[in-house]
Amino acid sequence: MRCGEAGAAGGFLLPRGVLLLLGVCNALSLEIKASPKVQAFIGEQVSLKCSFKSSSPITESLTVDWTYRPLTGGQMETIFHYKSLPYPTTAGKFKDRISWVGNVAKGDASIALQSPVVSDNGTFICSVRNPPDVYHNIPKTVLIVTERGLSFQLTSATLLSILVFLPSITVVVLLLVRMGRKFRVLKEKKKCGYKKSSIEVSDEPEHTETGNCLGKFRDWCLNCMDTDEEDPY
Integer Rg of the chain from CA:
47
Using an 8 Å Cβ cutoff, are 148 and 88 in contact?
A: no
pLDDT score at 170: 85
pLDDT score at 9: 39
Question: Which of 63, 33, 41, 65 is closest to 114 using CA atoms?
Answer: 41
| Burial (Cβ within 10 Å: 0-12, 13-18, ≥19) of residue 124 | buried
pLDDT tens digits, one per residue of 81-126: 999 999 999 999 999 999 999 999 999 999 999 999 999 999 999 9
Mean pLDDT for the stretch of residues 22-33: 63
Query: What sign has the CA pseudo-torsion 52, 104, 113, 119?
Result: negative
| Burial (Cβ within 10 Å: 0-12, 13-18, ≥19) of residue 211 | exposed
Measured distance CA(99)–CA(114) in Å, rounded: 8
Kindly report the length of the chain.
233
Contacts of 188-197 with C-beta under 8 Å, sequence gap 24+, read none
Question: Which of 130, 128, 123, 96 is closest to 112 using CA atoms?
Answer: 96
pLDDT tens digits, one per residue of 134-183: 888 999 999 999 998 744 555 555 666 777 777 888 888 888 888 888 77
pLDDT score at 190: 72
String of b and e for 5-38 (b: at least 16 CB within 10 Å)?
ebbeebeeeeeeebeebeeebeebbbebebbeeb
Establish whether the linkage from the previous residue to 57 is cis, with ω within 30° of 0.
no
Measured distance CA(132)–CA(1) in Å, rounded: 13
Cross-strand pairs, 98: 113
pLDDT above 50: residue 76: yes
pLDDT score at 136: 86
Measured distance CA(191)–CA(74) in Å, rounded: 85
DSSP string, 146-188: E--TT-----HHHHHHHHHHHHHHHHHHHHHHHHHHHHHHHHH
pLDDT above 70: residue 60: yes
The pTM of the full predicted model, rounded to 2 decimals, is: 0.55
Mean pLDDT for the stretch of residues 9-33: 51
